[in-house]
Amino acid sequence: MFKFPKCLFNSYSPCVPCATYSKNYPQIHRVWYFFPLLLVAGMIIAYSRSMKATKNMTIVQADFDRIALHSSRDSDERWNHNTHYHRFLLDHVPAGCTSALDLGCGTGAFARLLAQRAEHVLALDLSPQMIHQAQARSTDVPNIDFQVADAFVWECSPEQFDYIVSIAALHHLPMEEVLSKLKRGLAPGGSLLQNIVTIARSAWCSG
């Protein structure tokens, strides 16, 4: 004789709709018994990915802290794969730029150039040593706000920036999530540009 299963949401009595459905489609109904397990498994996977990302960013921060300690003001002006794209990136700063974001600003070389074309520049970097060097080299540029921040957890206001740039930084991050966040922070008619040194190619899109 067919026995009604107990409802997933009421363990003390059979669920008549569920029992009826189970009688007609027993294979499909059994899936619901695994739903809590699937939910827990999904939460574990999400947590594991989050912990892995945190660990990876800790390593990245330590690496760039060491690089900052060996950098100099002269190194900001010498040619490298980063400075090669500075003119191209500056050419896309919109006229009358009020607020700009430099994500992964390093020692602030590009942020200082950007500050000549924007009223205010917010320059973020994961490395405290990089920010320390950037502040020390930018004492004569009052319209840059240097901050230590993890771009993965940092949040900006909607349509906050007229111009957003990231030089050799996004490949350290979950790019799809960060780009979606940056696009939300871009004002209508603004520009979002990225330069990925690992493939020696600059890609840009306008919002």
Residue 197: the pLDDT is: 41
- 165 backbone dihedrals φ, ψ, rounded to 5°: -135, 145
Q: How far apart are CA 179 and CA 58, in angstroms?
A: 21
Question: What is the percent of the chain with per-residue pLDDT over 70, rounded to a whole number?
Answer: 67
Q: How far apart are CA 9 and CA 6, in angstroms?
A: 8
Check the CA dihedral 183-189-195-196 and report its sign. positive
Residue 69: the pLDDT is: 85
Count of the separate structural domains present in the chain: 1
CATH number of the domain where residue 88 is located: 3.40.50.150
Tell me the whole-structure pTM to 2 decimals: 0.66
**pLDDT, tens digit (0-9, with 9 covering 90-100), for 103-127:** 999 999 999 999 999 999 999 999 9
Question: Which helix (H) or strand (E) segment is 183 a member of?
Answer: helix 175-184
Its domain, for residue 91, covers 14-207
Q: How far apart are CA 33 and CA 38, in angstroms?
A: 10
Does some domain include residue 61? yes
Does some domain include residue 162? yes
**pLDDT, tens digit (0-9, with 9 covering 90-100), for 25-74:** 455 555 555 556 666 666 655 544 544 455 577 888 888 889 888 888 77
Q: How far apart are CA 121 and CA 134, in angstroms?
A: 13
